[in-house]
Amino acid sequence: MLIAFNKPMNVLSQFTSEGGWPGLADYIDIPKVYAAGRLDRDSEGLLLLTDNGKLQARIASPKAKLPKTYLVQVEGAPDEAALSALKQGVMLKDGRTRPAKVRAVPAPDLWPRTPPVRVRKTVPDSWIELTITEGKNRQVRRMCATVGCPCLRLVRWRIGSWSLEGLAPGEWRQMPENNRKN
């Protein structure tokens, strides 16, 4: 079984609640499924859960290099140098990231975030689509900050060819495990 879940902001990627933050059990009442990877509490979007250990390992393993695509609202507007640096890979404290696919995109038609992103009148914001093939801790946020465009909102949209398409925050649906593109 494979489940696609649209994890809302401020929900933990574990079944137990902790520190006043809700866990996955508040949304998914299916026994013996486990998250294949994680999303930080302050990130939103696609979280895959499965009862298949081999599939879980394939999705979560950095060795599989499964592409993960994020829609990222950043402070400022990344110039060509910033986008080029992300494409080549940037140096973080724990090493250089693999090259990423990145492009500036118009503001996507997403659900309202709770709480809303704090907007500063004197600083513009913009959106990028960023695809990585690894998963270092808070990697997308750190990559964006490294090129001078701090992350304001982070939504994972796709893992391989599994997508968040059509799922509202807090909703889930069963997905086919065998996806030819994965």
Residue 55: its H or E element: helix 53-60
DSSP-assigned letters across all residues of 116-180: PPPPPTTS-EEEEEEEES---TTHHHHHHHHTT--EEEEEEEEETTEE-TT--TT-EEEE-S--T
Rounded distance between C-alpha atoms, residue 83 and residue 106, angstroms: 15
Token duo for residue 84: 């080029």
Residue 80: its H or E element: helix 80-88
Residues serving a catalytic function are 40
**What backbone phi and psi angles, to 5 degrees, belong to 87?**
-65, -35
